[in-house]
């Protein structure tokens, strides 16, 4: 039957996600999605996990440096043989590289040194060379860069989040027409699920919870310091 029809039943059995910013919840729970994904061939399941690991912030330990992350991505990319998936990952990480550059510049950091591994993709060196240009002379490739720079400077994090999620949604959607019932279609569905999930989790309660998690992870062994002091003072 060929790979183009490898997952017809799986894809038709999945509810279509709503338009990104209209969705109130993901089209199905992660538990249910994982149950459906059990039909994936072992190799495909492994590739999907690898792609999700690279692209999901939550799977990245706080202690990981940029260089370590880039090294892990390079290692993972060598094991992903699927051209479409490689493109999806590369494009997504290039968006992140641009945003990282904007944030670094906004913090007042200077042009990175040529040996400093701070980003991933084709534009890292180009961005470094054009560090002082508003959009790093990448207007033709990333027309959204000026808007992202403006939003970062204005501190409008919600609008920034919308812009980024819209970009990654479009990045994934670009490949939908070529892949209807194959493995790539399954990965695209899962990545879209992740994006919708991130958007609907844009909830103050959950954000506070995540912030607590991150600060606890950042504090590490000092996490109980204040509790201990309070106990002593009592």
Contact between 12 and another protein by CB under 8 A: the answer reads yes
Contact between 16 and another protein by CB under 8 A: the answer reads yes
159 by Cβ neighbours in 10 Å (0-12 / 13-18 / 19+) ranks as middle
Shortest distance, CB of residue 27 to another protein, whole angstroms? 10
Site of tokens 């994090």: 157
Contact between 8 and another protein by CB under 8 A: the answer reads yes
CA distance 79 to 71: 13
By CB under 8 A, name the one of 72, 87, 180, 200 that touches another protein.
Answer: 180
Stretch that binds another protein, among 1-9, 79-87, 129-137, 138-146 (CB under 8 A): 1-9
CA distance 223 to 227: 8
Which among 99, 76, 100 has a CA at the least distance from the CA of 88?
Answer: 76
Please, are residues 137 and 130 in contact by the beta-carbon 8 Å criterion?
yes
Q: What is the DSSP letter of 121?
A: S
Q: Where in 181-210 is the site for another protein (CB under 8 A)?
A: 181
Binding mask 137-156 for another protein (x = CB under 8 A): --------------------
Closer Cβ to another protein, 13 or 218, answer by number = 13
Total binding residues toward another protein, as defined by CB under 8 A = 14
The residues, ordered by sequence, that sit 6+ positions from 158 with a Cβ below 8 Å of its Cβ are 202
By CB under 8 A, name the one of 3, 13, 133, 156 that touches another protein.
Answer: 13
Closer Cβ to another protein, 35 or 126, answer by number = 35
List of residues contacting another protein (CB under 8 A): 1, 4-5, 8-16, 180-181
């Amino acid at each position: 039957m060929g790979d183009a029809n490898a997952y017809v039943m799986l894809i038709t059995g999945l509810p279509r996600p709503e338009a990104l910013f209209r969705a109130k919840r993901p089209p199905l729970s992660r538990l249910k999605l994982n149950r459906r994904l059990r039909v994936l061939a072992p190799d495909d399941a492994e590739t999907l996990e690898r792609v999700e690991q690279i692209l999901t912030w939550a799977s990245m330990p706080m202690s990981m440096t940029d260089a370590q992350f880039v090294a892990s991505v390079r290692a993972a990319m060598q094991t992903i043989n699927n051209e479409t998936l490689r493109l999806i990952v590369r494009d997504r990480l290039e968006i992140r590289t641009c945003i990282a550059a904007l944030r670094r510049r906004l913090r007042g950091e200077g042009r990175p040194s040529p040996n400093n591994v701070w980003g991933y993709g084709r534009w890292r060196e180009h961005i470094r060379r054009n560090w002082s240009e508003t959009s790093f002379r990448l207007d033709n490739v990333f027309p959204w860069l000026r808007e992202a720079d403006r939003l970062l400077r204005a501190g409008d994090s919600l609008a920034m989040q919308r812009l980024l999620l819209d970009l990654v949604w479009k990045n994934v959607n670009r490949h939908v027409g070529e892949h209807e019932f194959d493995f790539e279609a399954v990965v695209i569905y899962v990545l879209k699920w992740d994006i919708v999930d991130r958007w609907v989790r844009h909830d103050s309660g959950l954000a506070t919870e995540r912030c607590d998690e991150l600060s606890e992870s950042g504090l590490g062994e000092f996490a109980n310091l204040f509790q201990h002091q309070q106990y002593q003072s009592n």
